[in-house]
Chains A and B, each alone.
Chain A
Amino acid sequence: MGPIERSFARHRKSGGMDRRRFLRRLGATSALGGAAVLGGHEVLHGAGLLAHAQAQEQSGAQGGHGNNGHLGGTVGEVDNARNGFDPHEILTDFDGGEVSKDSSGRTVREYEFVTIDKEIEVAPGVFFPAWTYNGRVPGPTIRAIEGDRLRVKLVNASEHPHTIHFHGFHSASVDGIPGAGEALPGESFTYDFIAEPFGTHLYHCHSLPLVQHIHRGLYGAFIVDPKQGRPDAHEMVMVMNGFDTNFDGGNEVYALNTVAFAYSKKPIEINAGELQRAHVINVTEFDPLNSIHIHANFFNLYRTGTSLEPDEFTDTISMGQAERHMIEFTYDQPGNFIFHAHVTEFIDLGWLSAFEVV
């Protein structure tokens, strides 16, 4: 009889995949990671104050408007404290490094990045065996001024070799690839170079296999300001990323700054009339394109942030992996305005955010 085969085909499909899990080693190196972010770090552009203010807020709080019941999304809340980072803090957490001057009077910014294998919660209750710089995904946002000297020390406290490969100018010896700046487990390497050209850039691990080393969480924003500066603005870092939680070569979770629906469940508070400047960086693995679209508004697009004049005035921009742009916009009216990928399937899978204009 024919129907029965069709009838039971669906039962056969329903078995879970018994996937070989990656070994997780937790916490062994967290003390090292903690040390790296201590000390006299300069915070540029006053962004730190706002980050501090947002950190004070209850991470799990749900305002009446913040609850996205009508927008769909995940069930429950991600425990930011357990993760050790908060997407709302990452948004405005610009790290100027430990600042000094060298003999020629040039500003030197020193950083210590510790690679730590760590399980992170990318959607409520869904844990991903991440590889991190300093215990967070994305890694710290490096912020320098064009011409500053950067000294970034990579301390490898994880189980695999890692590098930091910066998008920007530098010598071959500090390119951050296997053979030129790779730190084996337990070892370290210092990348010493001049921050240029100005723009919105990124860094990421370039060890092999590359898909694993990037997709597991080893990336971050690298922002170089022009010498003459830019107009005052409320600045944000938005790293578009995704997580293949079942390791089948496709993402189950998409997000801005790692946590699915983090900014739709709790919108980003911004001021009406204030210039907003977002550094949007695409590191999404497995998908050729990601994009950003803001509602009820248009933005000035500075491609790769490498010019002082806008390239385009639009409300949607698509980017391949490692493409990044600086966008500027102002909301005049208070209210809630969502923004999201216009690769629509990413919205349903976590890349949905909102501004609460006050």
Chain B
Amino acid sequence: MAASTASRETRFPQWLGWLLPVAAIAALVALFLVFDPIGSLREVPPVEVVAVERTVLSEDQITLELRNDGPDPVTIAQVLVNEAYSSYEITDQTLGRLQTATLRVQYPWEEGLPLGFALITSTGVTVEHEIEAAALTPETDGSTIAIYALLGIYIGVIPVAIGLFWYPSLRRASKRWIGFFLAFTVGLLGFLLVDTVAEGFELAAATPAALDGLSLFALGAVGAVVGLAAFEQFLERRRHGSHSAKSGAASAISGLVLAYLIATGIGLHNLGEGLAVGASLAGGEIALGTFLILGFAIHNTTEGLAIVAPLGSEVKRPSLWHFVALGAVAGAPTILGAWAGGFAFAPAWAALAFGVAAGAIAQVVWQIVRGMSRDHGLASGLGALGLMAGLVFMYITGLLTA
């Protein structure tokens, strides 16, 4: 038997075995393209779907970024702005599947009033799009970039940094209270996880159907879980040498590594938060009120506490630059998010980013729970209280930004 198998292998090289199915599917594709066997089934009306991915309002001019989101080509024939035919320019009159085009109309739009668009295709179908309150789209110049950066610093960097100052108190706290704050962190992250998943689903729904936002979200989430797990292994191996790597999976990770993981998860969440706020601002959806900024600031200060919570039980105080780095990892992405949201927002990318954030937070929650001692874990009285306190605190401070 063994001899005959070996001889078969020599007659039939292994690489050919891998390639044969590939060649077969290629042949099938070619046959379909050439002979079109289901042609008679396709005599149905064209499905015309166009997504407006982005609008840019400048003085007396409106620019719409379009994407053909349907299976068939679409030809834009006329453009109605507020129920009136308007002259327009478009980079491509006919959009193939997933193709994008830029459409410009001259229109004396007014600040704060709604704008309605209807693009009429060659078959008379209308693609409708609405801007709830027209506002000048910020230009990508130095001052606007600075304003968005400042926004990120206010709602992301400063609050997280302030939260880090709970570290000295945490160090003096008893094991029971550190358990409480770790449970508090789990509650807080749990809240952010639900929030991030909900927003990710929203974005997935807003993503052009052909790009499948839900898959992008899932891809980001799974990628983040797997990636962070590998990252954590890498950090542990560096810390303890290769001998402990084998048992590393079973034992709890160090407080500092956990702090970095939490900071990473929170940072990815804040990237999404910055993205959402930046996009809303640029789209004229929200006004940049003092109350809104303060709301975010208070909401996010707790995130600093969450980062330092696992450091409370560490014997050795980490050096100061670790705190700077932790603050930067958690807070600075808000600035990047605000820029991306304000100047180059696309729901598809945002769905992917929110997926990454959700996966990261889930991974971090798992790490914290795994590392908590049995006596002072979530099931202990103070632990359960901490978990609930984290959730309730985030809910209440979240009301400030609603």
Q: Which residues of A contact B (CB under 8 A)?
A: 1-8, 10-23, 69, 72-76, 123-128, 243, 245-248, 252, 260-261, 345, 348-350
Most buried by B among A10, A72, A128: A10
List B379-402 residues whose CB lies under 8 Å from chain A.
Answer: 398, 401-402
- Chain B positions within 8 Å of A, measured between CB atoms, are 45-53, 69-70, 74-75, 77-80, 83-88, 93, 118, 120-132, 195, 199, 202-203, 205-206, 209, 273, 276-277, 279-280, 283, 285-286, 347, 398, 401-402
Main secondary structure of the interface of B (DSSP, over half): mixed
Q: Are B48 and A18 in contact (CB under 8 A)?
A: yes
Chain A residues within 8 Å of B129, by CB: 10, 13-14
Of all A-B residue pairs in the complex, the 4 with the closest CB atoms, nearest first, are: A245-B124, A21-B45, A125-B77, A348-B84
Set of chain A residues within 8 Å of B50, measured between Cβ atoms:
14-16
Q: How far is the CA of A168 from the CA of B117 in the complex (A)?
A: 43
- Contact indicator B277/A15 (Cβ below 8 Å): no
Pair B127/A14 contact, Cβ less than 8 Å: yes
B118 touches A14 (CB 8 A): no
The smallest C-beta distance from B107 to any residue of chain A, in angstroms, reads 10
Q: Which of A8, A23, A123 contacts B347 (CB 8 A)?
A: A8
Evaluate contact between A260 and B122: CB separation under 8 angstroms.
Answer: no
B280 touches A4 (CB 8 A): yes
- The contact of B132 among A10, A72, A248, by CB within 8 Å, is A10
- Other contacts beyond A16-B126, A243-B124: 8, CB < 8 A: A3-B277, A4-B199, A10-B129, A11-B53, A14-B51, A14-B52, A17-B128, A19-B125
Contact B277 A72 (CB under 8 A): no
Residues of B within 8 A of A23 (CB): 45
Contact for A350 among B49, B85, B202, B285, CB less than 8 A: B85
Q: A8-B206, A12-B206 are in contact. Are A75 and B87 (CB under 8 A)?
A: yes
Q: Which residues of A contact B87 (CB under 8 A)?
A: 69, 72-73, 75
| B402/A21 in contact, CB under 8 A | no
User: With A20-B45, A75-B88 in contact, is A15–B209 under 8 Å at CB?
Assistant: yes
Chain B residues, Cβ within 8 Å of A261: 85
The reply to whether A4 and B276 form a contact with Cβ atoms under 8 Å apart is: yes
Q: Which residues of B contact A8 (CB under 8 A)?
A: 202-203, 205-206, 347
Q: What CA separation (Å) do A73 and B88 show in the bound complex?
A: 10
| In contact, B123 and A127 (Cβ under 8 angstroms) | yes
Residues of chain A with a CB closer than 8 A to B126's CB: 16-17, 245-246, 248, 252
